[in-house]
Amino acid sequence: MKKPDFNDNFCDKLTELLEWRRDVRQFKTDPLPNGTLDELLDLACLAPSVGNSQPWRYVLVESEANKKEIKENFERTNAKALEGYDGEKAKLYAKLKLSGMDRAPVQLAVFAHEETEQGHGLGHQSMPEMLRYSAVLSVHTLWLAARAKGIGLGWVSIIDPDAVKQTLEVPDEWALVAYCCIGYPTEEKDTPELVTLGWQERLGDCRKLLIK
């Protein structure tokens, strides 16, 4: 295979992709074209993984009963999270839209198989959490691949993972790492919504965090 040419133009486009990769909450209801999700998952599976273990497991959530149960899971967890804030922060939190479950055409649960035999234990005997980290890298790869096709992804973390496992009836050795809403965003923007709404500014120059 010929070595690719990652020229300056490609690097500039990669920077744009990273800048425009946003956590989407506002979705159009338009379905993805046939085969698009399969293409995205193929790309997600190119992510690096500890010991080449490829521990990611994807579950497409399609039944209305499961969607309803998981949405109720989110609502309960979100209400409990609100109790952890007070004052102006609580008022702002209550206004945030933290899930796209109401409109996203695709809902996807991503798990890490924590007892996989793939990889033969290389790299995760000493750090077993690397299996989850590997699954997270797969989610990030999926996120970027989707963004490159004009598709948005929202990562719902305000959720009870054990309840999701119970709803989807997955094996005990699978750990939930992400619940993703996927679809076309209602608007395109390069600024995180939480910055726009005044919740948290970006840290800025990450080099300031470098310890030498």
What confidence tier does 1 reach under pLDDT thresholds 50, 70, 90? confident
Report the chain's C-alpha Rg in angstroms.
18
On the 0-12 / 13-18 / 19+ scale of CB atoms within 10 A, 76 is middle
Q: What is the pLDDT of residue 197?
A: 86
CATH number at residue 38: 3.40.109.10
Q: What is the pLDDT of residue 133?
A: 98
Overall average pLDDT of the 10-26 stretch: 95
**Is residue 137 one of the residues assigned to a domain?**
yes
User: Which pLDDT does position 212 carry in this prediction?
Assistant: 80
Three-state secondary structure call for residue 156: strand
**180 contacts 147 by C-beta, under 8 angstroms:** no
The lowest-confidence range among 2-6, 39-43, 65-69 is 2-6
Closest CA to 182 of 16, 44, 76, 5: 44
Residue 205 included in any domain:
no
Position 24 pLDDT exceeds 80: yes
Mean pLDDT of 89-114: 96
In a domain, 83, yes or no: yes
Q: Rounded distance, CA 144 to CA 150, Å?
A: 10
Mean pLDDT for the chain overall = 95
Residue 57 backbone phi and psi in degrees, to 5: -135, 130
Amino acid symbol at 29: T
Give the model confidence (pLDDT) of 172-210 as tens digits.
999 999 999 999 999 988 888 889 888 888 887 787 788
pLDDT of residue 171: 97
- Min mean pLDDT across 36-50, 136-150, 162-176, 179-193 is at 179-193
Q: What is the pLDDT of residue 204?
A: 76
Strands (DSSP E) along 3-105, which ranges?
A: 56-60
Please give the tally of structural domains in the chain: 1
- Indicate whether 112 belongs to any domain: yes
Q: Is residue 180 part of a domain?
A: yes
Residue pLDDT, tens place only, 107-132: 999 999 999 999 999 999 999 999 99
Per-residue pLDDT, 211 = 83
Assess if residue 113 is contained within a domain: yes
What does the pLDDT read at residue 2?
86
Rounded distance, CA 180 to CA 141, Å? 13
- pLDDT by residue (tens digit) across 26-42? 999 999 999 999 999 99
**Cα(93)–Cα(70) distance, rounded to whole angstroms?**
21
**Structural domain for 34, as ranges:** 24-191
The verdict on residue 9 lying in a domain is no
How many alpha carbons fall within 13 Å on the CB side of residue 147?
A: 23
Is 148 part of a structural domain of the chain?
Answer: yes
